[in-house]
Amino acid sequence: MCLSTVYKNEKKPENQMMQNVMLIECKDGVVKLTDIMGREMEIEGEVALADLTGGMAIVRPRATA
């Protein structure tokens, strides 16, 4: 099983958004994360990086005006 940890903006412990992510969906400017327990998190923004062999992804939130 290939699970990932997702971070906001850069890979730092304090930027961790969710662990054990099994699914990342992007639609209409929203990134939806789902972990192995079925918990979901949505954030307006985009996936900046997905390192599947390293088990991590970075999400860049949309700037608020």
The pLDDT of residue 57:
98
Q: What is the pLDDT of residues 7-61, one digit of tens each?
A: 999 999 999 999 999 999 999 999 999 999 999 999 999 999 999 999 999 999 9
The pLDDT of residue 12:
97
The pLDDT of residue 4:
96
What are the residue ranges spanned by the domains of the chain?
A: 4-50
- Identify the CA nearest to 30 among candidates 5, 63, 62: 62
Pair 34, 40: CB distance under 8 Å = yes
The pLDDT of residue 56:
97
The pLDDT of residue 26:
97
